[in-house]
Amino acid sequence: MSRVCELFGIDVPIVLGPFGGLSSVELTAAVSAGGGLGSFGLYGYAPDRIVETVRMLRSSTDRPVAVNLWWSRGDEVTPADVDLSSTRDAMAGLFAAAGVAVPDVPEVFLPDLADQLDAVFAAVPDVLSLVYGVPDAQTVARARERGIRVIGTATSVAEAVALETAGVDAVAATGMEAAGHRVSFLRDPASSLVGTFALIPQVVDAVSVPVIAAGGIADRRGVAAAFALGAEGVQVGTAFLRTRQSGATAAHREAIAAAGDTDTVLTRAMSGRWARGIPNRAVREIEAAQAIAPFPAQNWLTGVFRAAAAAAGEGELLSLWAGQAAGLTRFDEAADVLVELRAGLPGGRD
């Protein structure tokens, strides 16, 4: 049995990628029930919603579950820091297309991280995964007191070493092929684009904690390759995002199913931070206008028309996050994805 299974109390070392805004209780519970570690992204969740989400997960599965939070990089802006008038004007056509008014600036863009952490520790999930930084000693100690394992996320060897030094239980080493946000924190994400095949063995050589490989893994071949490189677990996002159990809209799932190897791009258009997804009208118009607000202001702005677009099933106005292995995704059921991934594990199991 791999150390990942021992750490998290799971049957197979397969971790569901946490999707900020696209997670669902159904998918998280399905992966956990299937023997892996189901994860749920809590980006933007208020404390009471975090507690309720963990309660719903507990009522949906008796197996271990993970939740994910975004650590602060220290460069996040507040409403008082930015003038969004030009950005809102540049996006006027997108708001109109979604049938919503150009929004007024809120009092805050995001809940306070300290309050989110308090809620997580009150709810006591089995695992807390973090992106965009190194947890402080107090956070690690609070997790240990409650029996919560901690996964840190690295996009470089230096980040992995920093996370191990901080006391995380495992490192998710994420190659540039991965869907969604590039969660680098020691250097600019555009300068930290290390591919999975290059990243995993170097991280394995640099740290003693278990390494979970992420980025470009969508079938049994990717799993086998990750373990051959020294990983003790895999984290898979896009293949599960395509399934009906995910929180993605039908339009998003169809875009993943149709995507090929060169059909994703890195863009700051939708959130103000670099992320990998399938380009659409929203990405093209925002990039052409060259009026991208800093994070999280941009993410809040686009979130207004994205919410309306999701309700209407309009894929051209969504964040169509997808990884470079989107062309390898084949299944519409989470259980089928798990069967495929398990076939690539050493011995065809754990």
For the chain, list the domains and their CATH numbers: 3-75+111-259+326-348 (3.20.20.70)
CA angle (298 as vertex; 329, 249 as ends), nearest 5: 30
pLDDT number for residue 82:
94
Strand ranges of the sheet holding 180-181, from the earlier edge strand across to the other edge: 180-181, 275-277, 265-267
Burial class (CB in 10 A: 0-12, 13-18, 19+), 291: middle
Q: Which two tokens stand for residue 276?
A: 């990998």
Residue type, 107: E
| C-alpha count within 13 angstroms, C-beta hemisphere, residue 81 | 12
| Structure-derived torsion over alpha carbons of residues 23, 110, 131, 22, reported in degrees to the nearest 10 | 10
> What is the three-class DSSP state of 164?
helix
**In the predicted model, is pLDDT for residue 182 greater than 80?**
yes
Q: Give pLDDT tens digits for 7-18.
A: 999 999 999 999
Instruction: Report the percent of the chain where pLDDT is more than 90.
Output: 96
**In the predicted model, is pLDDT for residue 37 greater than 80?**
yes
Burial class (CB in 10 A: 0-12, 13-18, 19+), 259: buried
Calculate mean pLDDT across residues 111-126: 98
pLDDT number for residue 291:
86
Q: Give pLDDT tens digits for 64-80.
A: 999 999 999 999 999 99
**In the predicted model, is pLDDT for residue 350 greater than 80?**
no
pLDDT number for residue 349:
58
Phi, psi of 172 (to 5 degrees): -90, 105
pLDDT number for residue 347:
83
Among candidates 203, 125, 215, which has minimal Cα distance to 162?
A: 203
Instruction: Report the percent of the chain where pLDDT is more than 70.
Output: 99
**In the predicted model, is pLDDT for residue 63 greater than 90?**
yes
pLDDT number for residue 342:
98
Place of tokens 């947890």: 135
Q: Can you say whether residue 290 is alpha, beta or left, with left for phi > 0 and alpha for psi between -120 and 50 degrees?
A: left
Banded pLDDT at 348 (limits 50, 70, 90)? confident
Q: Give pLDDT tens digits for 218-263.
A: 999 999 999 999 999 999 999 999 999 999 999 999 999 999 999 9
pLDDT number for residue 190:
87
> What is the three-class DSSP state of 10?
coil
**In the predicted model, is pLDDT for residue 28 greater than 90?**
yes
* Residue 11 CB coordination number (10 Å): 18
Beta bridge partners of 154: 173
* Residue 272 CB coordination number (10 Å): 22
pLDDT number for residue 20:
87
Whether the Cβ atoms of residue 274 and residue 268 lie closer than 8 Å to each other? yes
Helical ranges in the chain per DSSP H:
3-8, 25-33, 47-60, 85-90, 92-98, 113-123, 137-145, 157-166, 196-206, 220-228, 238-241, 250-258, 281-289, 297-312, 334-342
Calculate mean pLDDT across residues 282-290: 96
Whether the Cβ atoms of residue 300 and residue 109 lie closer than 8 Å to each other? yes
Tell me the pLDDT of the chain averaged across its residues. 97
Banded pLDDT at 1 (limits 50, 70, 90)? confident
**In the predicted model, is pLDDT for residue 101 greater than 60?**
yes
Q: Which two tokens stand for residue 289?
A: 């206008």
